[in-house]
Structure 1
Amino acid sequence: MDLASLNAFIAIAEMGSFSLAADRLHLTQPAVSKRLATLETQLNVRLFDRLGREIGLTEAGRALLPRAYQILNVLDDTRRALTNLNGNVSGRLSLATSHHIGLHRLPPLLRTFTRRYPDVNLDIRFLDSEIAYEDVLHGRAELAVITLAPQTAAPVRAVNVWDDPLDFVVAPEHPLAQKSEISLADIAGYPAVFPGGNTFTHHIAHRLFEREGLTPNITMSTNYMETIKMMVSIGIAWSVLPRTMLDEQVVRLSLPGIQLSRQLGYITHTERTLSNAAKAFMALLGAD
C-alpha cells in the first residue's frame, strides 16, 4: 500500500464523493479513481459499493478505514518526532479553529507567532468546533482552538484558555427590550435563532431552559455567530451571543440569577507527538 492511495481512500470515505475527495486533495477525479483502483488491486478487495451517484464503504472498506488512519498517524508522528530532534521551530503546523475564535481571538496570536517563527508553514482550517474535534481525533489537525465540549474524553486533552460569557440579546426595538423585569419563561415565548443543534454552544443554552422545564421557540439556526447577530439586530428573534460581540446593534437582557458562559481553549491528541511548532503555539496560548 502506498500513502497516496491510502490518502485517496480516506478522502473518499470522509467526503462520500469522488469529486469532493478530488477537491480536497487538489487532484482530478480520474486521478483519485486511479489511486483507489490501485489500492483495491493491491488488497484484492472492493472498498466501496457504487450505486449510481451514491457510494458507501463495503465491509472490507469499513475494516480498512481505522487501520488507514492508524498507518498515516504513525507515519506523521514519526516524522514530527524526528524533526523535533534538531530543536528548530519549523515545518508544517496543521491548526483547526472555529470561525468565531479565528476572527475574534486568534489574530493577535497569529501575528505574533508568524513573526516569531517565520519558518513555520501554518495550515489553518476554519471549521465548526465539533468538526475540528474530530479532525484532532483522527489526525487531520495537530492542534485545534475551539469552543470546548462540556466533557472531553481520552485520548483528547482539552486546555481552557478563555472564559467566554454568553448573554441573551435582542434588537433595541424588540418587545423584550422594553420590559423592566424579564424571566426565562418570558424569553421562551418569543422566536429565537440558535446555533445548530450539534454545537456545544447550543447544548449549553438549551440545558438552561431544560432545567426550568421550558422549551425555547427556536425558529432558525445557523452555526455562524456573525449571522446570528445580524438576525437579532433586525428584530426577528432573540439569541445568545458571546459578550465580546455586543455593541449598539443589540441589547443585553438581564436575567437575575442567570449566568451563562462557555470555555474556549485548545485540544490535542495525547497519544501523538507534538511538533515543536505546535508546542510553541501552545506556549503563546498560555500552556502549562
Structure 2
Amino acid sequence: MDIMWLEDFIKLADEGNFSRAAEARNLTQPAFSRRIRALEDWVGATLVDRDTHRIALTEAGQAFRVLAEEIMRRLTLGRDHVREIGGTLSNEIRFASTHALSTTFFPAWLRSLHGGQEAGTITLIADNMAACERFMLEGKADFLLCHHHTAAQHRLDPAGFTSLALGEDVLMPVTAPLGNGAPTHVLPGSGDQPLPYLEFEEKSGMGRILQAAQVISAGSASLRTVFRSHMATALLSMARDGRGVCWAPLSVAAADLESGRLVAAGDARWHVPIEIRIYKPIARRSPSVEAFWTMLKNRLKAEAS
C-alpha cells in the first residue's frame, strides 16, 4: 500500500468529484481513478459509490476516511517527535487559514503580536474550510484561523482541539450601488423577481455558517443563484460588477463599503454575527508552537483584564 493512496482518498472525500480531486493531486483523472481502485483492492472493500452524480463514500469508505486521516496525523506527529528527539526539528510554525482571513486579518494580527520581533519561520496555507480542517486533522498545520458560528458544524472535535476567540466579525449582504447610491438589489426580493445570488459553496466555512444561521430562510429571501465560489473575494468582485447580491464578512468587504463600490443590500436583520477563532491540537506540538500558544493565551488574558 502506497501512502499517497491515502492522500488521494482523503482529497477525493473532500472534493466529492474525481476530476477536481485528480487536478488537486496533479494527476490525470484515469491515473487518479486507478490509484483509488488500487486502494480499494488493498482494503478489500468498495470505498466510493460511483453510481451517484456527486460521488459519495460508502459506509466502509466513511469509516476508512476516519482511519486514513488518523494515520496521516500520527505519521506527521511521529515524524516531528523524532525530529525533536534528534535535534533536527525546525522552529517553523504552520498556519492554515480560510481565504477570507489570510489577507485581511492574518498579516496585521501577526504584526500586532510580535511587533516585528522574530517568531520563528511562519508558513501560511490558505484554502477553503474543508481543506483547512484536513490539514489540521492530518497534522500538516499547527493552527487554524477561521470564522466561527455556534450553530455551524466543523470537523475539529473538542476532544482533540482547543480554540481561542480572537475577535468579532459579521456576515452581511452587499451589492453594487445605482447611480444615486441606492442598492442595485434589495432584500428580500420577490417571488416573481428573485434577486441574483452570488453564493458561497456549501463546503466553504461561510457557506456552512449561512446555512446554519438560517438568516436567508428566516427572512424569506427570494434568491436565484447565478454564481458560486468558496472565495469571498470572488463573490465581491462579481458583486462590484453589479451581478447580484452576496453575503461577505465585514472584515473583507470594509474597503469596498467605505469607498462606495458596494453598499448594504439589507438592514441589520440580515446580518450574522460571527467570531474569528484560532484552533490548535490539544496534543503537544513543537516547542515553537507551544511557546506561541502560551504567548497568545497570556496576551488575550491580559487584554481581557
Instruction: Report if TM-score (shorter chain) is over 0.5.
Output: yes
In the alignment, does 2:212 pair up with 1:201? no
1:13 alignment partner in structure 2: 9
SS of equivalent residue, structure 1 residue 177: coil
Question: Which residue identity does 1:156 align to in structure 2?
Answer: F
1:252 alignment partner in structure 2: 264
Correspondence list, 1:1-288, <5 A: 7-16=3-12, 23=26, 45=42, 66-67=66-67, 69-80=69-80, 90-110=90-110, 112=114, 115-118=117-120, 120=121, 122-150=122-150, 151=152, 153-154=157-158, 155-173=160-178, 177=182, 184-186=187-189, 189-206=194-211, 207-244=214-251, 245-246=253-254, 247=256, 248=259, 249-255=261-267, 257-270=269-282, 272-282=283-293, 283-284=295-296
SS of equivalent residue, structure 2 residue 289: helix
Question: Which residue identity does 1:99 align to in structure 2?
Answer: H
TM-score normalised by the chain length of structure 2: 0.65
Aligned-pair identity in percent equals 16
Distance 1:211 1:257, change over 3 A: closer
The whole-number CA distance in structure 2 between the counterparts of 1:257 and 1:66 is: 39
TM-score normalised by the chain length of structure 1: 0.68
Comparing 201-210 with 100-109, greater Cα deviation is found at 201-210
Please report how far the alpha carbon of residue 105 of structure 1 lies from its aligned counterpart in structure 2 after TM superposition.
0.7
The whole-number CA distance in structure 2 between the counterparts of 1:256 and 1:61 is: 43
1:52 alignment partner in structure 2: none
Distance 1:149 1:129, change over 3 A: farther
Distance 1:95 1:203, change over 3 A: closer
The whole-number CA distance in structure 2 between the counterparts of 1:174 and 1:237 is: 16
1:53 alignment partner in structure 2: none
Cα deviation code 1:137-170 (max 9, x no counterpart): 2333222111225355433333221211232212
Question: Which residue identity does 1:94 align to in structure 2?
Answer: R
SS of equivalent residue, structure 1 residue 130: helix
Give yes or no for contact 2:197–2:244 (8 Å, CA) kept in 1. yes
The whole-number CA distance in structure 1 between the counterparts of 2:167 and 2:95 is: 18
Distance 1:107 1:48, change over 3 A: farther
Give yes or no for contact 2:80–2:89 (8 Å, CA) kept in 1. no
The whole-number CA distance in structure 2 between the counterparts of 1:250 and 1:103 is: 19
Q: Give me the CA root mean square deviation.
A: 4.6
Cα deviation code 1:181-206 (max 9, x no counterpart): x9743488321212112333234445
Comparing 138-147 with 69-78, greater Cα deviation is found at 69-78
Please report how far the alpha carbon of residue 177 of structure 1 lies from its aligned counterpart in structure 2 after TM superposition.
2.0
The whole-number CA distance in structure 2 between the counterparts of 1:22 and 1:190 is: 37
The whole-number CA distance in structure 1 between the counterparts of 2:267 and 2:208 is: 19
Give yes or no for contact 2:101–2:146 (8 Å, CA) kept in 1. yes
Please report how far the alpha carbon of residue 132 of structure 1 lies from its aligned counterpart in structure 2 after TM superposition.
0.8
Tell me the number of residue pairs that the alignment of Structure 1 and Structure 2 aligns: 267
Cα deviation code 1:19-58 (max 9, x no counterpart): 768749xxxx9xxx8xx99x99xxx946798xxxxxx999
The whole-number CA distance in structure 2 between the counterparts of 1:140 and 1:65 is: 16
